[in-house]
């Protein structure tokens, strides 16, 4: 316990991942990882600030929080930093109109975004929507742009569902990068900007976070 | 004409690509590129040796030659070097049993290959078969192997059909490379071994070919 005390000296806030840390996704939504519901409850009773920082991009933030609450977690939408809302800020700032290659579950996050006459592509963990047809469509949009911009919500290689390992967005991002000869901009972990925005929202400096 | 004579001095054989050089694929099989039927006929009347070297891997060699003959080309199966037959030689030599992520049109080339209990993955331009489900299956096979081997029939970025640009095998090869942290072995152009086998089959040294 002394070791923990030293390790946490000066720590004021904790950033927690969600998928694979709090729960494993799968049929029927998924299941909590043993001990995680109680761990979150204890952290929230402690003096530490807590924020949830996820690359989850198959679901809107509202749907994700709804699922976590059903699984027993005490979490509200305002405590979650996720790539889709961060991407919307970037799109608005830069006047970008995306062609979306995303899961239907997260599409509502982009409801306020102009997607007419696209001048960039946004790719996220689209699951079954990573069809050959949809990949070609995204590719063709990029090839028609003078300065092709590809925003990727995370760049994970794969993740674990209860049914086994599944490809994440990263491999498909790499596919489009290679096809078009471009480099994607990653929104989400491990981008430093993404962590910084989560810390800002928590009101904690980087050296004070764990 | 003098310039051509100088350029071709010492040349004894000509390797010709097929897709995008002799014909463009598309609805109903495709169409010959203007002048190419006559160009092949003239080459075959000349003293030069001619061989066709293709990365086409959606069709068996027999089906490809059948299509070309219908389009008016004077070509026989024995004159074509293609990745699928070259891959079968490699599989047999190395005792590899592939999981096939290939187009149904080329599957017959692997009829004599043992595909039980796979110890490698063979990926080719699979077209519509590049579904999320099929990509996950190939990924999972690779992840279960101690020494994952991925053979890719070519590594083209994209190709032109009459309907527009379509993703080739290369982007999907890159996706699996990234997901598994491995490097694929490319069978087909631009692999030097592939060109060498085409020259051998033509009976011409590299410096005598154009």
Q: What is the rounded CA–CA span in Å between residue B194 and residue A190?
A: 40
Whether B199 contacts B172, CB under 8 Å: no
Q: Please give, rounded to a whole number of angstroms, the shortest distance from the CA of A72 to a CA of chain B.
A: 31
pLDDT at res. B155: 96
Nearest beta carbon to residue B130 from set A128, A132, A180: A132
Which CATH number describes the domain made up of B2-82+191-208? Answer: 3.40.50.1000
With CB atoms and an 8 Å threshold, state whether A132 touches B157: no
With CB atoms and an 8 Å threshold, state whether B157 touches A179: yes
* Residue extents of the structural domains in chain B: 2-82+191-208, 83-187
pLDDT at res. A3: 66
Whether A126 contacts A134, CB under 8 Å: yes
Token output for A42: 């204890």
Per the listing, tokens 């049109």 go with B105
Q: Residue B43 class from Cβ within 10 Å (0-12 exposed, 13-18 middle, 19+ buried)?
A: middle
pLDDT at res. B180: 98
With a threshold of 0.85, tell me whether the complex ipTM lies above it.
Answer: yes
Q: What is the rounded CA–CA span in Å between residue A36 and residue B85?
A: 53
Contacts of A127 in chain B (CB under 8 A): 132
Handedness of CA B96, B198, B202, B66 (dihedral sign): positive
The stretch A113-133 carries a mean pLDDT of 97
pLDDT at res. B188: 94
The stretch A55-60 carries a mean pLDDT of 92
pLDDT at res. A30: 86
Q: What angle do CA A37, A42, A43 make, to 5 degrees?
A: 100
Mutual angle of helices A169-180 and A132-143, in 10-degree steps: 40
Which of A5-19, A166-180, A192-206 is predicted most confidently?
A166-180
Q: Is B54 helix (H, G, I), strand (E, B) or coil?
A: coil
The DSSP letter of residue B145 is -
Confidence of residue A60 (pLDDT cuts 50, 70, 90): very high
Q: Which chain B residue is nearest to residue A165, measuring alpha carbons?
A: B140
Give the residue with greater pLDDT, A131 vs A29.
A131
Number of residues that make up chain B: 210
The CATH class for the domain spanning A83-187 reads alpha beta
Q: A92-121: per-residue pLDDT in tens?
A: 999 999 999 999 999 999 999 999 999 999
Contacts of B177 in chain A (CB under 8 A): 174
Whether A77 contacts A65, CB under 8 Å: yes
Tell me how far CA of residue B13 lies from CA of A39, A120, B44, B46, B78, in angstroms: 73, 46, 11, 10, 16
Confidence of residue A8 (pLDDT cuts 50, 70, 90): confident
With CB atoms and an 8 Å threshold, state whether A175 touches B179: no
Q: According to the 3-state scheme, what is the secondary structure of chain A?
A: CHHHHHHCCCCCEEEECCECCCEECCHHHCEECCCHHHHHHHHHHCCCEEEEECCCCCCCHHHHHHHHHHCCCCCCHHHEECHHHHHHHHHHHHCCCEEEECCHHHHHHHCCCCCCCCCEEEECCCHHHCCHHHHHHHHHHHHCCCCCCEEEECCCCEEEECCEEEECHHHHHHHHHHHHCCCCEEECCCCHHHHHHHHHHHCCCHHHEC
Q: Please give, rounded to a whole number of angstroms, the shortest distance from the CA of B13 to a CA of chain A.
A: 32
Tell me how far CA of residue A203 lies from CA of A13, A206, B71, in angstroms: 9, 10, 69
* End-to-end CA gap in chain B: 17
Low-confidence ranges of chain B (pLDDT < 70): 1-5
Q: Please give, rounded to a whole number of angstroms, the shortest distance from the CA of A158 to a CA of chain B.
A: 7
pLDDT at res. B30: 86
pLDDT at res. B152: 98
A2-82+191-208 and A83-187 agree in CATH topology: yes
Whether omega for the bond prior to residue A190 falls within 30 degrees of 0, making it cis, is yes
Q: What is the rounded CA–CA span in Å between residue A63 and residue A52?
A: 15
Q: A151-175: per-residue pLDDT in tens?
A: 999 999 999 887 889 999 999 999 9
Nearest beta carbon to residue B171 from set A167, A170, A179: A179
Q: A14-37: per-residue pLDDT in tens?
A: 999 998 899 988 777 889 999 999
Contacts of B128 (CB under 8 A, 6+ apart): A132, A133
The DSSP letter of residue B137 is H
The pairing of strands B31-32 and B23-24 is antiparallel
Handedness of CA B106, B67, B77, B191 (dihedral sign): negative
Nearest beta carbon to residue B131 from set A132, A140, A174: A132
pLDDT at res. A145: 98
pLDDT at res. A105: 95
With CB atoms and an 8 Å threshold, state whether A175 touches B167: yes
pLDDT at res. B209: 83
Q: Which chain A residue is nearest to residue B129, measuring alpha carbons?
A: A132
Q: Please give, rounded to a whole number of angstroms, the shortest distance from the CA of B143 to a CA of chain A.
A: 9
């Amino acid at each position: 316990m002394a070791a923990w005390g030293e390790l946490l000296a000066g720590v004021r806030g904790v950033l927690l991942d969600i998928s694979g840390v709090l729960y494993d996704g799968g049929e029927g939504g998924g299941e909590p990882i043993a001990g995680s519901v109680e761990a979150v409850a204890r952290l929230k009773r402690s003096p530490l600030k807590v924020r949830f920082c996820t690359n989850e991009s198959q679901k809107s933030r509202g749907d994700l929080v709804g699922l976590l609450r059903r699984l027993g977690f005490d979490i509200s939408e305002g405590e979650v930093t996720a790539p889709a809302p961060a991407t919307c800020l970037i799109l608005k700032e830069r006047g970008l109109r995306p062609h979306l290659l995303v899961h239907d579950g997260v599409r509502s996050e982009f409801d306020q975004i102009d997607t007419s006459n696209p001048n960039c592509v946004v790719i996220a963990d689209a699951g079954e929507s990573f069809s050959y047809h949809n990949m070609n469509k995204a590719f063709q949009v990029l090839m028609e742009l003078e300065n092709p911009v590809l925003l990727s919500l995370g760049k994970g290689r794969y993740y674990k569902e209860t049914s086994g390992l599944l490809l994440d967005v990263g491999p498909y991002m790499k596919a489009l990068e290679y096809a078009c000869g471009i480099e994607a901009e990653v929104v989400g972990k491990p981008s430093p900007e993404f962590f910084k925005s989560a810390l800002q929202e928590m009101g904690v400096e980087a050296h004070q976070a764990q």
